[in-house]
Structure formats: structure tokens, C-alpha cells
Amino acid sequence: MSDGTDVEQLDAPPPVSAELRAKILADPNVMKIAAELEMSLDEFVNTVGYYMNNPGVEPAFLVVSDENLRKMGVEPPTAEAIEANVRASVEAFKAGQAPSGFDQPRKKTVELGAQGGEAVKSSANPGLDDAVKKGRTSLKP
């Protein structure tokens, strides 16, 4: 925060209608999920209902002081670690947006002139063909 104050908790979502509350509570896992998230059932139902009523809303960030993070067993990152993470993320984004060498069109490897060369003439040795045929037949058992 710019004024240096720590925000402990954001405002809770508004209560939902009785119909929506009943619809959310119809799921047998709701109480288990709320307990695993260490939220009261009312808070969890209101949070789920809020996002159901406002599907385009992004979840808000929860700001927690370094002291409270340590109480939860989480060591807060240093300013240097945060900076390194941001720099690494920026480099990863840049690398993902850079064109690869495979995107460029292929270059012609050989240019052929308008006039072709002479056809290659065969200089076959008829005696060689006979020797090859004899060699094949002599290998058969």
C-alpha cells in the first residue's frame, strides 16, 4: 500500500439471497470445503454466491502483513527475491513473445538457371551386370 499501512482483511462479500444460499448448500461438499479453507460457512457461502452473481469479477488479493505471514509459518520474501522473480517473469514473457527461427520463410537452397544442363549419359558396363548376377546366384545355398 502506498500509505504504509497494513491491510489485514478485505471487506467480506455481501450476503446472498435465500434461494442462492439454498442452492449452494445443496452441495454436500460445501461444509467440508469451508472447513478446509478455515472459513465460516456463512463467509464461504457468501463468497461463492458473490462470484456466481458476478461471473466477470476477478478474485481480490488478500494483503497480509509480514508478521502475520510468519505466524502462519510462511517466511515473507525479501525485496531482492521479489525483484528477481519479477525480472525472471518479464524475461519469460519476452522469450515467449519472441519469434523463433522456425517462423521465417525458407530460403531457396539451389537456384536453377532457365536452361537445364545436359542429361547424364549412362556408361554401364555389360560385363559388370553379368558379374553381379553370378555373384547373387552363387550365394544361394
Which one has a higher pLDDT value, 83 or 14?
83
Domain count, the chain: 1
What is the distance between the alpha carbons of residues 65 and 62, in angstroms, rounded to a whole number? 10
pLDDT surpasses 60 at 5: no
Residue 122 lies in a domain: no
Residue 119 is which amino acid?
Answer: A
C-alpha cell at 113: 538457371
| Mean pLDDT computed over 63-85 | 90
Q: How many CB atoms lie within 10 A of CB 118?
A: 5
Does the residue 137 lie in any domain?
A: no
- The arithmetic mean of pLDDT across residues 112-137, rounded, is 71
Q: How far apart are CA 48 and CA 42, in angstroms?
A: 10
- 65-74, 86-95, 98-107 — which is least confidently predicted? 98-107
Residue of higher predicted confidence among 15 and 129: 15
**Does residue 106 lie within any of the structural domains?**
no
pLDDT for the residue numbered 75:
92
pTM of the model: 0.38
Per the structure, the complete domain to which residue 12 belongs is given by 1-80
Burial of 48 (0-12, 13-18, 19+ CB in 10 A): buried
The CA distances from residue 47 to 26, 28, 55, 60, in Å, are: 16, 17, 12, 11
Residue 112 located in a structural domain: no
Kindly tell me the sign of the dihedral angle through the C-alpha atoms of 84, 4, 40, 25.
negative
Is 80 exceeded by the pLDDT of residue 40? Answer: yes
Is 27 inside any structural domain?
yes
Residue 102 placed within a domain: no
Q: How far is CA 129 from CA 120, 121, 137, in A?
A: 19, 17, 13
